[in-house]
Structure 1
Amino acid sequence: MARDTGQTRAKILAAAGDLAREHGPGKLSLDAVAARAGVSKGGLLYHFASKSALMEGLVTDHLARLEAALRAGENTGRPDGVIAAYLAEFRRECAAKAGPPAGLLAALVEDPTILEPVRQQERAFLDLIRSNATDPDMATAAFLVVHGIRTMQLMNVSVLTQAEEAAVMGWIAARLEPPQD
């Protein structure tokens, strides 16, 4: 039963994220999310008691996936493994056409107080990235580049083409590669 509960929760979160990206966070409704996820509205409310709780769930889910990727990078024991994992996760999101974490914008529209826990988590990510970096300033710049691109995508004001984004990401990744002997 617990496995089904986790799968249903994941389906609901995926549906909410998709709808927020497709129609904008302000037009996200619980009825639409339930229909997209293939669950009843009661089933959705079992997992998320309100639209605000659903938005918090989207943000929490995104941050948990990102943290897992960073911890995996840290566990490699490789210098710059954390920032490399951060860049790889961002590239994975872009390749999957998942777009930016629309749940964050949706959550902020719904409840601006959710920003403080996100800020704290992002600071923890940056601290972890810097502690594992051979050049903490370069790692910080890479972190900020990802945030800049993600924010432009989220706000639908991207000024870079996909090729330009890929070139910048490649340039950063090349500078994080260990030197070849």
Structure 2
Amino acid sequence: MSPLCQPKITARDKILAAAVEISHENGAANLSLDAVAARAGVSKGGLLYHFPSKAALMRAMVETFVARVEADLEDTARNSGNLLSAFVSVTGEECAKPIPGAAGVLAAIAEDPDFLKPVKEFQRRLLDRLQAGAKSADDVLLIYLALEGLRSLRLFDLDVLSKEEQERALKAMRMRAKDCGYSYK
């Protein structure tokens, strides 16, 4: 893509990216508006224009994280035609690498547990959609719980599965997801 066709990165996006980086590198306790502004290359006033408080910045970090996960899932589902298989694929890919934005989500939740609301709402919508189109809601529920368990192990740096064990689990879930008969809608 030529530089002229690339989407412009806004100051807001730079600020959010800087906040995620700082959360990931230094932990939630070291997320300060001054550090974020410096990392993003904006003045503190510029940061406050977009995010009038640390809480507003953290809320936006959570919402951006959820939107990214949802967009990845929808793109994969459109290509595969199976939402449950897409969920297995997207979550498997996330578990194989650092989760971008996850540290920011944890920082936000530590600051204010109400920031979990958009995550909970997304998860509920997703589970409802997965179960509505499946031959076996029980199989969907088990796959959902297994995937969220893998994600939680990764998120909290508690990975106890070997790479081979994780791949076996994902392979088994992929097979079961295909058998559930869910079509993307």
TM-score (norm. length: structure 2) = 0.78
Q: Cα deviations across residues 124-145 of structure 1 (Å, max 9, x unaligned)? A: 1111121233332222222212
* Bigger shift: residues 150-159 or 91-100: 91-100
**Counterpart position of 1:27:** 30
- Paired with 2:164 and 2:27, the residues of 1 have a C-alpha distance of 25
Equivalent residues in 2 for 1:20-99, closer than 5 Å: 20-72=23-75, 75=78, 78=81, 81-98=82-99
Do the aligned residues in 1 keep the contact of 2:14 with 2:40 (CA within 8 Å)?
Answer: yes
TM-score (norm. length: structure 1) = 0.79
Q: Cα deviations across residues 15-50 of structure 1 (Å, max 9, x unaligned)? A: 222222222222212222222323222222222111
Do the aligned residues in 2 keep the contact of 1:59 with 1:107 (CA within 8 Å)?
Answer: yes
Matched residue SS, 1:43: helix
Residues 120 and 16 of structure 1, relative CA distance in 2, 3 Å threshold? same
Do the aligned residues in 1 keep the contact of 2:59 with 2:115 (CA within 8 Å)?
Answer: yes
Higher relative contact order (CA 8 A, sep 6+): 2
What is the RMSD computed on CA atoms of the aligned residues? 2.7
Do the aligned residues in 1 keep the contact of 2:20 with 2:101 (CA within 8 Å)?
Answer: no
Q: Which amino acid aligns with 2:174?
A: A
Residues 138 and 37 of structure 1, relative CA distance in 2, 3 Å threshold? farther
* Bigger shift: residues 53-62 or 30-39: 30-39
Unmatched tracts of structure 1, length 5 or more: none
Unmatched tracts of structure 2, length 5 or more: 1-6, 181-185
- Paired with 2:173 and 2:22, the residues of 1 have a C-alpha distance of 32
- Paired with 1:171 and 1:69, the residues of 2 have a C-alpha distance of 22
Aligned residue pairs total 174
